[in-house]
Amino acid sequence: MKLIMAIIKPFKLDDVREALGAIGVEGMTVSEVKGYGRQKGQTEIYRGAEYQVKFVPKVRLDIAVDDDIADRVVETIRDTANTDKIGDGKIFVLDLASAMRIRTGESGNEAL
Amino acid sequence: MKLIMAIIKPFKLDDVREALGAIGVEGMTVSEVKGYGRQKGQTEIYRGAEYQVKFVPKVRLDIAVDDDIADRVVETIRDTANTDKIGDGKIFVLDLASAMRIRTGESGNEAL
Amino acid sequence: MKLIMAIIKPFKLDDVREALGAIGVEGMTVSEVKGYGRQKGQTEIYRGAEYQVKFVPKVRLDIAVDDDIADRVVETIRDTANTDKIGDGKIFVLDLASAMRIRTGESGNEAL
Amino acid sequence: MLRRLIAFRSVLLASGLAVLTPTLALAQDGGVNGANTAWILTATALVLFMTLPGLALFYGGLVRSNNVLSVLMHCFAIACLVSVLWLVAGYSIAFGSGGALNQWWGGLDKAMLAGVGMDTTSGDLPESVFFMFQMTFAIITPALIVGAYPERIKFGAVLLFTALWLLLVYAPVTHWVWGGGWLADRNVMDFAGGLVVHATAGTAAIVLALALGARKGFPGDVSPPHNPGMTMIGAAMLWVGWYGFNGGSALAADGAAGMAITVTHISAATAALTWMLVEWIKLGKPSLIGTVTGAIAGLATITPASGFIGPVGALAYGIVAGIVCYIAVQLIKQKLKIDDSLDVFAVHGVGGILGTLLAALFASPALGGFGYGEGMTMTSQFTVQVIGVVSVVAYTAIVSLIIIKVTQAVAGLRSSEEEETMGLDLSEHGERGYSL
Amino acid sequence: MLRRLIAFRSVLLASGLAVLTPTLALAQDGGVNGANTAWILTATALVLFMTLPGLALFYGGLVRSNNVLSVLMHCFAIACLVSVLWLVAGYSIAFGSGGALNQWWGGLDKAMLAGVGMDTTSGDLPESVFFMFQMTFAIITPALIVGAYPERIKFGAVLLFTALWLLLVYAPVTHWVWGGGWLADRNVMDFAGGLVVHATAGTAAIVLALALGARKGFPGDVSPPHNPGMTMIGAAMLWVGWYGFNGGSALAADGAAGMAITVTHISAATAALTWMLVEWIKLGKPSLIGTVTGAIAGLATITPASGFIGPVGALAYGIVAGIVCYIAVQLIKQKLKIDDSLDVFAVHGVGGILGTLLAALFASPALGGFGYGEGMTMTSQFTVQVIGVVSVVAYTAIVSLIIIKVTQAVAGLRSSEEEETMGLDLSEHGERGYSL
Amino acid sequence: MLRRLIAFRSVLLASGLAVLTPTLALAQDGGVNGANTAWILTATALVLFMTLPGLALFYGGLVRSNNVLSVLMHCFAIACLVSVLWLVAGYSIAFGSGGALNQWWGGLDKAMLAGVGMDTTSGDLPESVFFMFQMTFAIITPALIVGAYPERIKFGAVLLFTALWLLLVYAPVTHWVWGGGWLADRNVMDFAGGLVVHATAGTAAIVLALALGARKGFPGDVSPPHNPGMTMIGAAMLWVGWYGFNGGSALAADGAAGMAITVTHISAATAALTWMLVEWIKLGKPSLIGTVTGAIAGLATITPASGFIGPVGALAYGIVAGIVCYIAVQLIKQKLKIDDSLDVFAVHGVGGILGTLLAALFASPALGGFGYGEGMTMTSQFTVQVIGVVSVVAYTAIVSLIIIKVTQAVAGLRSSEEEETMGLDLSEHGERGYSL
Ligand SMILES: Nc1ncnc2c1ncn2[C@@H]1O[C@H](COP(=O)(O)OP(=O)(O)O)[C@@H](O)[C@H]1O
Ligand SMILES: Nc1ncnc2c1ncn2[C@@H]1O[C@H](COP(=O)(O)OP(=O)(O)O)[C@@H](O)[C@H]1O
Ligand SMILES: Nc1ncnc2c1ncn2[C@@H]1O[C@H](COP(=O)(O)OP(=O)(O)O)[C@@H](O)[C@H]1O
């Protein structure tokens, strides 16, 4: 199993979720995060003074998936979250040692 | 060492923390996350229009532990966070390459 | 590649970000988290009743880096985030199976 | 000449209420009545408070969190812009004596308050006080329209539309009804602005909503109100301020003002409870936003009638307002799919029109009301009310549409999709609502 | 007949203050005094503002973030419900002339404001104005009780309890004290509602808190106030509105009103500083919530005395209120472990009772006060005050308990544990407070 | 003796405005005018509302989220402290008759309101009402200074500085200008507090900002306002309350009050639009915070002139205020790098001084104003205004500096760096602003 961690632009969340649903991924966990990278944050101006907002709001998806479909999930996220503009984000893949569904105690692929 | 990442219902947080304390786990890091899965979010109605809240508020625990007790930690979370209702959440386990305590520079099990 | 996950004190965020920039790490993802550990939260008092805040606000950095510089990144965080006081936080290192930049589709070290 | 007061007084006199205790003993011709002045000064502050910050909060809580500042900005900037224009020409168009054209507008004699000093009076009030009191009405009317276009309009369009609309719609209509124009001559009953304020704002709102198009995602996928508590605070302030709106429209600190706030309050309370019950029965839960919306519906609906009907009539007004405005919201949003985003027409337009028509009924002494003007009967009054509603709605719709076309040509109406997604706070004003 | 005004005036006259400058020259028998009307119209708006949104915010900031809307909803719905009931029967029970039973209640003669028109007067005010002013008191009193039961009560129970309580407790007690009933006959001193408002609300609150049981986790593990700034805003609005509450209770724009707001303000300021200092000394830090709570304690405490005592007495009132109410909070919550969640009894009940008793002392000219009614001395007055407190508290406690039992049987009192965990905003109203 | 009123009236009389409609018919010597009393009671509530919660919110929204409660606490505690001190000595120093030293201060005759009862009058108002009205001015002035020192000052220092400053700066300067002191004798024009309120507060603010040093990270790296909506709400409340501030300063419900609120409102609206336009042109976007700051600048600037100039003058005031205060903010923060954190001097100090000087110009009937006092011309008046500004600013600066040194020695001024990083909410008050 893999744990796929994707950092994407917030307004792409709904699209990505739907695209993943279409290929059979029904569960995921989402967090609001702040990204630092090439893309710079907005400048805000209050009473004439500039405030450089150093972070850019991003959304992070954590998705545990079976090894079989990991590549397809990565591709799907890539295709859907892509806007060809700087700051589109990253997809990281980690090996998952084990997984368990709390409600049933099932583990492995059953748990996802 | 393992990094145990558990997604649970928010109101179970205190119980889980206490149960883990009882088996010797004193440290953890908690984030507020939103879960997508079988459990659906609440419907809210404003002026007669329905708003389907697509996410369910969840809490995510990240707990770094020695390999020895990893299984016991997973079991304890499972037992305490379980309500037998849909949406109870998941426990994922990852291998941890290394750990360090910033204050002292200790590493490995000492750092936890 | 490694995924370095560091839990630090919020007011150290800017220092750490700058120090990492100085050694060539330009990207990272930041989340606000709550820490449980040796350091205890603030006590608040409202109308004479004590409220023990059990969590301590922390900031979590997720940084994907090339294996080469992983150790240097860990050391840099350690040095910059250290205040010699309890609650300075932890640095965890995980192995990263793969990485991809959404915008370009580049993968591996190119993606970071 | 203060036709509004005179018109109102004559209504009372004609209906046998001439025995109204004379509180005006102090005010000889041209004299100032200190007590009435004290109350209208207060009422002016109360009505300003309705917009700043009442209405701004009421609307601000209903939008997404990344548009809250833009809504506050709309209300604030409109208040400023209207104030200046009211001085420059608006007041004169509304309350000047337009000479030969007096049926249609008040002319420009009083532009820049020409000839008005500390000792100039209007009725038994200093004219400066009457000018200010009326200005707060001129402010809130275009501010009500803000509810039609949040989350997607350009800020420049808000300003240009408002400026033209104030001078070309609000000021003339005010003259017709309160300034001695053709509807006043026909004895139309509009105590505190069912036609002048709510019908005009509601009509303009729906025209603008249609011209602008719906928000991205409407109707199925728009975000819920980001802060219902803010909306409740705004509603509470509107309610309190409405004492000045309707009570101040008596232009005196007397029993007419007291009765006006009584019926106003009862209608608001009844409509809120009614809306709450409807939701409870239909949806299973009574919501805060529904309840406070009901109160505003009750307030808007009784506004034109608040000087003419009694407490029992006010109960009826509240029940009708709660049910009809609730249905109107569902109809316009869900059936007609018009994104009048914060329901300006359904609440204010429908309420104002309804209240104006029902006034002809409930003014009847048989229904606890205080009677009709000289020579008027329930039927003749109702006819006049219908004429008033139709002409004001039609005029407002047509002129608003023209103004919208001009605005679109000059300043553009709608933000880009990217700006809409980002939220107007950042895209139009460069600010964020909450850094918690 | 306006016994309250008369009682108060006679107190002043009897104490040698007959030389009060006659501001009432305009008001012959049955005449309306415009200046007084202007002030009481304003005071009515101010007191409504205390509940909507003042008290709602004061309480709303103190609960968990997922209960904030339910608290606002309680206050808003209570305001609406009481308004309608006040028209239907409440006002008549409180201020009607009850005939043979006038010692106990005012009867139903004035139900639906029967016989009250624009020109009906009460003293030198239009009766509609007096009706409205008193209505705002009737609104805030059951709204104060909201602080006893947040985060765990069913919404239906709030409505049913409030309706019965208004008619069976508030209205009769008001008649006893201000409507010409048996306590008025005994010259009880309660200028603006120490007994009528604060003692009744506080007593009902603690009875209800006991009947309902504590919140989950109380006392060790409840959440801290989710928004102390909101509480401060509410407290500020309550303070400003209290000028209308106590200053309006003079029912005139004169030196009595001026002195009432003076002592009211001084007591609030002093009590806030006192509470702040107590916290600073005892807990090491002065808190915002403590300071504003002190101000409210000072306001509640001086309310019954605000027409009878002088500025130096007000300083003493403030110090005593700050210390005694602080101790009362600790005692009830920490010692007795009663979850009167937002300290209604400790602040309002204790404050109102304390202020009522101390009034007998500080009304003494020797202590800077303005004296007693005809034939009264400090001792005889104190006896009357004790009788007033004991009877009002006992009556309120007993009748409230019966109402609670009825409510429990009809509507149920308490939410399920799951609903409580989820928060009442979602479980009872289907809304969320913040989507930031 | 009420020199302020007399001074003002004489200005009017001398300038040929003696025909002001006599609204004061009721008030014989020592008599109370009910209408004026009603209005000043209201104005008192409005001005209190400006600080609690208006100014508190205006400032609270501009700081970081972990300092919001400390700012609210500063305003609230200052209000309480000043109220008690105003009773104890402040009012007497400002408005007592200081005997031989009356040019400089009012002495202690009226300390604790000695000799003031319900029937004591000041002009045609009950003295208690005048005392309270003036108290609300005494509250807001030191509260304005809060904007200079947020996020880094010790709470004890706030209290000690405020107490000394009220008695040693505010009260004497008030006596000079409004209490019959040396500047009143020279016919200085300051209708509602350009010198007394805004110049003193602004001057003290910049001295304190210099003594305290800048916030960590200033200027490049401070956090943006955490809640601009809160700031807008506060600004709206300040605007509404300002009707009481400037309109109440007429001390009567008459045409002078009406004209005062007219010009006040026009100046606020114009300055807001001006500031908005400047930002739009210079920075590409009009911001909410800029716009509301402009309104406050317009209000502060017209304050000293609001009884002397006409509506066209008010337009000019608004434009000048918007531009000059905008430049002043940039100059002080960006050029001089002085961390007067919320721009107290740039907005209130500069505005108040500017308005005081311009009053000599725009009072001219040729510019639509209402003329000068007996024997005064534009030139002689301007000279007096310059003397007033220089002496008030110099006196305030010197005495404030001494008070700061004393405060530093006794209580310490500045929080530790760790406390500053943590935020004053937790470090000084043990509370958190938001638990959402
Ligand atoms: N090395 C990294 N480790 C973790 N997250 C990163 C890293 N680099 C970038 N990110 C995340 O990816 C986001 C997008 O990166 P950015 O450099 O702005 O654009 P792009 O990916 O298009 O080059 C950042 O905002 C940050 O959240
Ligand atoms: N594949 C997944 N990867 C990551 N998180 C998941 C995944 N599936 C579910 N989750 C998380 O677990 C939570 C519970 O899952 P859900 O399907 O609702 O219930 P259950 O686990 O009882 O079947 C979700 O809200 C989500 O946060
Ligand atoms: N076992 C653990 N797993 C994950 N996070 C941990 C663990 N132990 C501590 N932490 C995180 O590190 C932070 C600091 O730990 P703490 O014990 O307070 O101080 P220190 O690291 O100085 O001994 C905690 O607040 C928590 O966020």
* Cβ count within 10 A of residue F152: 23
- pLDDT score for E4: 45
d(C-alpha F82, C-alpha E175), whole Å = 39
Q: Which residues fall within 8 angstroms of residue B32, CB to CB, at 6 or more apart? A: A31, B10, B57, B58, B59, B60
Quick one: average pLDDT of F59-79? 98
D54 token code pair: 């009442």
d(C-alpha E241, C-alpha E228), whole Å = 20
- pLDDT score for F27: 37
Window from C50-54, E250-254, E304-308, E316-320 with minimum mean pLDDT: C50-54
- pLDDT score for A108: 87
| pLDDT at E16 exceeding the cut of 80 | no
Question: Max CA-CA distance within chain F?
Answer: 64
- pLDDT score for F30: 56
Q: Indicate which atom in ligand 2 lies nearest the CA of residue A101.
A: 21
| pLDDT at E261 exceeding the cut of 70 | yes
On whether the CB atoms of residues A39 and A8 are closer than 8 A, the answer is no
- pLDDT score for D434: 95
Strand extents, DSSP E, D88-221? 121-122, 125-126
Protein residue with its CA nearest to atom 8 in ligand 3: B27
| pLDDT at D29 exceeding the cut of 50 | no
| pLDDT at D398 exceeding the cut of 90 | yes
| pLDDT at B1 exceeding the cut of 60 | yes
On whether the CB atoms of residues F342 and F147 are closer than 8 A, the answer is yes
- pLDDT score for A53: 78
Which segments in chain A show pLDDT lower than 50? none
- pLDDT score for D25: 35
- pLDDT score for D30: 56
Dihedral sign for Cα atoms in the order D266, D269, D275, D280 = negative
- pLDDT score for A42: 79
What distance in angstroms lies between residue C5's CA and the mean position of ligand 1's atoms?
A: 15
On whether the CB atoms of residues E376 and E358 are closer than 8 A, the answer is no
Residues of chain A whose beta carbon is less than 8 angstroms from a beta carbon of chain F are 44-49, 51, 53
What distance in angstroms lies between residue C33's CA and the mean position of ligand 3's atoms?
A: 11
User: From the CA of F385, how many Å to the nearest CA of chain E?
Assistant: 34
d(C-alpha F123, C-alpha F130), whole Å = 9
On whether the CB atoms of residues C76 and B85 are closer than 8 A, the answer is no
- pLDDT score for D24: 34
Neighbours of chain E (3+ CB pairs under 8 A): B, C, D, F
Quick one: average pLDDT of E64-85? 98
d(C-alpha F57, C-alpha E128), whole Å = 35
Read off the pLDDT of residues C34-86 as tens digits, 9 standing for 90 and up. 999 988 887 888 998 888 778 888 999 999 999 999 999 999 999 999 999 99
CATH superfamily of the domain spanning E2-16+49-411: Ammonium transporter AmtB like domains (1.10.3430.10)
Read off the pLDDT of residues E26-39 as tens digits, 9 standing for 90 and up. 333 459 999 999 99
Quick one: average pLDDT of D50-74? 98
What is the band of F193 on the pLDDT scale with cuts at 50, 70, 90? very high
Before F224, cis peptide (omega within 30)? no
Residue to probe by mutation, ligand 3, list C5, C7, C12, C55, most atoms within 8 Å of CB: C7
E342 by DSSP, 3-state: which? coil
Q: Indicate which atom in ligand 1 lies nearest the CA of residue A87.
A: 19
- pLDDT score for B109: 87
Q: Which residues fall within 8 angstroms of residue D384, CB to CB, at 6 or more apart? A: D183, D186, D187, D188, D189, D360, D376
Q: Which residue has better confidence, F22 or E256? A: E256
Torsion of CA D144, D130, D15, E130, to 10 degrees: 80
Dihedral sign for Cα atoms in the order D58, D59, D65, D69 = negative
Prediction pTM value: 0.94
What distance in angstroms lies between residue A36's CA and the mean position of ligand 1's atoms?
A: 6
In this structure, are strands A28-36 and A56-65 parallel, antiparallel, or unpaired? antiparallel
Residue to probe by mutation, ligand 2, list B12, B34, B36, most atoms within 8 Å of CB: B36
Q: Indicate which atom in ligand 1 lies nearest the CA of residue C29.
A: 27
Q: List, as one string, the DSSP characters of F165-210.
A: HIIIIIHHHHHHHHSS-HHHHTT---SSSIIIIIIHHHHHHHHHHH
d(C-alpha D84, C-alpha D78), whole Å = 10
Give the C-alpha distances (Å, rounded to integers) separating D62 from D58, D126, D231, D279, F240.
Answer: 7, 39, 7, 18, 24
d(C-alpha B91, C-alpha B105), whole Å = 29
CB contact under 8 A, E430 and B11: no
What distance in angstroms lies between residue B77's CA and the mean position of ligand 3's atoms?
A: 18
| pLDDT at F128 exceeding the cut of 60 | yes
Q: Which residues fall within 8 angstroms of residue D12, CB to CB, at 6 or more apart? A: D18, D20, D256, D370, D371
Contacts of F20 in chain D (CB under 8 A): 118-119
A46 by DSSP, 3-state: which? strand
Quick one: average pLDDT of D128-143? 98
| pLDDT at E3 exceeding the cut of 80 | no
The verdict on E254 touching D (C-beta cutoff 8 Å) is no
Read off the pLDDT of residues B49-60 as tens digits, 9 standing for 90 and up. 888 778 888 999
On whether the CB atoms of residues B7 and B90 are closer than 8 A, the answer is yes
Read off the pLDDT of residues F209-240 as tens digits, 9 standing for 90 and up. 999 999 999 998 888 999 999 999 999 999 99
Can you state the percent helix, strand and coil of chain D, rounding each to 5? 70, 0, 30
User: From the CA of E109, how many Å to the nearest CA of chain F?
Assistant: 32
- pLDDT score for B43: 83
In this prediction, the answer to ipTM > 0.90 reads yes
CB contact under 8 A, C29 and A38: no
- pLDDT score for A45: 85
- pLDDT score for E281: 97
Cβ-based burial of D417 (10 A; exposed 0-12, middle 13-18, buried ≥19): exposed
| pLDDT at E63 exceeding the cut of 80 | yes
Map tokens 């090439």 to a residue. Answer: A38
Mean pLDDT of chain C: 92
- Residue ranges of domains in chain D: 2-16+49-411
Map tokens 């993968």 to a residue. Answer: C107
Q: Is the CB of A19 under 6 A from ligand 2?
A: no
Q: What angle do CA D109, D115, D117 make, to 5 degrees?
A: 145
What distance in angstroms lies between residue C83's CA and the mean position of ligand 3's atoms?
A: 14
d(C-alpha F228, C-alpha F234), whole Å = 10
Nearest CA in chain F to E294: F80
Read off the pLDDT of residues F156-190 as tens digits, 9 standing for 90 and up. 999 999 999 999 999 999 999 999 999 999 999 99
Read off the pLDDT of residues C48-57 as tens digits, 9 standing for 90 and up. 888 877 888 8
- pLDDT score for F1: 29
Q: Which residues fall within 8 angstroms of residue D377, CB to CB, at 6 or more apart? A: none
The verdict on B96 touching C (C-beta cutoff 8 Å) is yes
B45-66 in b/e burial notation, b at 16+ Cβ within 10 A? bbbbbebebebbebbbbbbbbb
Q: Which residue has better confidence, A54 or F128? A: F128
The verdict on A77 touching C (C-beta cutoff 8 Å) is yes
Quick one: average pLDDT of D246-251? 98
Find, among F159, F153, F161, F151, the residue nearest to F204 by Cα.
F161
Contacts of D64 in chain F (CB under 8 A): none
E398 by DSSP, 3-state: which? helix
d(C-alpha E82, C-alpha E84), whole Å = 5
Window from D22-36, D312-326, E255-269, E344-358 with minimum mean pLDDT: D22-36
| pLDDT at D11 exceeding the cut of 50 | no
Find, among F235, F304, F205, F210, the residue nearest to F264 by Cα.
F304
Q: Indicate which atom in ligand 2 lies nearest the CA of residue B39.
A: 18
What is the 3 state secondary structure string of chain B?
A: CEEEEEEECHHHHHHHHHHHHHCCCCCEEEEEEEEECCCCCCEEEECCEEEECCCEEEEEEEEEECHHHHHHHHHHHHHHHCCCCCCCCEEEEEECCEEEECCCCCEHHHHC
d(C-alpha F400, C-alpha E150), whole Å = 47
Question: Distance between terminal CA atoms of chain A?
Answer: 10
* Cβ count within 10 A of residue E132: 29
- pLDDT score for B11: 85
Read off the pLDDT of residues E174-229 as tens digits, 9 standing for 90 and up. 999 999 999 999 999 999 999 999 999 999 999 999 999 999 999 988 889 999 99
Quick one: average pLDDT of F7-35? 48
Give the C-alpha distances (Å, rounded to integers) separating E431 from B50, D339, D426, E69.
Answer: 11, 21, 27, 8
Find, among E203, E237, E294, the residue nearest to E52 by Cα.
E237
| pLDDT at E140 exceeding the cut of 80 | yes
Contacts of D239 in chain E (CB under 8 A): 48, 52
